[in-house]
């Protein structure tokens, strides 16, 4: 019996199919472009330099910005024993953290609440935030830590949601941080299954057009406080995840640079994937980090994802702020 041969066209087709399957697997399982996200520290040498750098940021925030969304510096007029950096969420702005910042200022801290790139426009329907990139967030993280080095002998940084992811990046890279507090950080999203997160991120950033999603499809532009954006950008939220994956990749090779890290989880959170945040903690501990702890607000408190902004419906700062002040104060 003569064996059936496989012709060259069939071999080429099989090879191409295998190549496509391999490429698809890599696309779905390997976060892309992480090497482009780097830390470039330029710490201030003294208090006056830090004040000048804040003034330079504020000079860029003129016409077109919401008055509550410009960079805030609450200072006692000289370098204090401790400086606190507060990082707002992606569709919010510095207004979100001003009430908590004032409490910290009253306790003796110099407090910096810097506007995140592309945030804070008075036009709530602005599409500018849709261009937010992981590289911009990494540069922002460096800038606020750089400024804080001239504001306090010790530095604490805390951020919410996307701001929590930025704080995690800073904690991984910046030894100037005595403590980093990640509040409901975005290391994954509750609506995206963990197994699909990498593929969804790569597709959103490399293949699909940018699109905007209403926070509340019923209320649309009537949702939220005047200092917030009522829409989220597909590429921006995935850029937050890209920064998270870059932090995780660095943690696989090096322990975090910050002195201590606290993950704050809201068990009632329906926006971010708490399990993904816990996996980041596990990665840090596996890298040899000596002080990484977790605090969880119990589900029965029924806190929303944004548990910082007092303007949020059903906000409970009387429950949240005392605990956060306690966690921040351990630096």
Can you give the pLDDT at residue 32? Answer: 87
Provide the 8-state DSSP code for 224. Answer: S
How many Å apart are CA 20 and CA 15, to the nearest integer?
A: 9
Nearest one of 221, 192, 32 to 127, comparing CA atoms: 221
The number of domains in the chain is 1
Can you give the pLDDT at residue 13? Answer: 56
In a domain, 16, yes or no: no
Name residue, tokens 């995206």.
192
In a domain, 291, yes or no: yes
**CATH number of the CATH domain containing 167:** 3.40.50.1820
**CA dihedral sign, ordered 116, 144, 165, 159:** negative
In a domain, 303, yes or no: yes
Helix (H, G, I), strand (E, B) or coil at 83: strand
Nearest one of 61, 118, 54 to 83, comparing CA atoms: 54
In a domain, 28, yes or no: no
In a domain, 66, yes or no: yes
pTM reported for the whole predicted model: 0.92
In a domain, 270, yes or no: yes
Q: What is the pLDDT of residues 64-93, one digit of tens each?
A: 999 999 999 999 999 999 999 999 999 999
In a domain, 167, yes or no: yes
Look up the domain containing 280 and give its range: 40-328
In a domain, 93, yes or no: yes
**Which residues of the chain have a pLDDT value below 70?**
1-29, 331
């Amino acid at each position: 019996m003569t064996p059936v041969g496989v012709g060259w066209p069939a071999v080429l087709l099989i090879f191409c199919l295998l190549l496509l399957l391999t490429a698809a697997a890599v696309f779905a399982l390997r976060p892309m472009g992480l090497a482009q996200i780097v830390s470039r520290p330029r710490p201030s040498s003294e208090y006056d330099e830090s004040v000048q750098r804040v003034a330079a940021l504020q000079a860029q925030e003129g016409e077109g910005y919401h008055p509550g969304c410009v960079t805030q510096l609450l200072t006692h007029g000289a370098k204090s024993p401790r400086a606190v950096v507060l990082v707002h969420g992606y569709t919010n702005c510095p207004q979100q953290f001003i009430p908590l910042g004032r409490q910290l200022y009253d306790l003796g801290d110099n407090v910096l609440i810097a506007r995140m790139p592309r945030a804070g426009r008075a036009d709530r329907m602005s599409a500018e935030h849709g261009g937010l990139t992981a590289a911009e967030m990494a540069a922002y993280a460096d800038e606020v830590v750089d400024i804080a080095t001239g504001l306090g002998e010790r530095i604490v940084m805390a951020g919410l949601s996307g701001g929590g992811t930025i704080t995690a990046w800073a904690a991984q890279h910046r030894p100037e941080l005595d403590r980093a507090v990640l509040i409901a950080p975005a290391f994954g999203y509750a609506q995206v299954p963990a197994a699909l997160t990498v593929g969804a991120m790569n597709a959103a950033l490399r293949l699909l057009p940018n699109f905007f999603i209403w926070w509340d499809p019923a209320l649309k532009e009537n949702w939220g406080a005047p200092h917030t954006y009522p829409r989220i950008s597909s590429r921006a939220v995935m850029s937050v995840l890209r920064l998270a994956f870059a932090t995780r990749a660095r943690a696989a090779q090096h322990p975090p640079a910050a002195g201590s890290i606290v993950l704050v989880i809201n068990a009632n959170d329906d926006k971010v994937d708490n399990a993904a945040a816990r996996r980041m903690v596990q990665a840090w501990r596996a890298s040899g980090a000596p002080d990484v702890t977790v605090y969880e607000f119990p589900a029965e408190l029924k806190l929303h994802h944004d548990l910082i902004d007092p303007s949020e419906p059903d906000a409970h700062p009387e429950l949240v702020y005392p605990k956060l002040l306690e966690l921040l104060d351990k630096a």
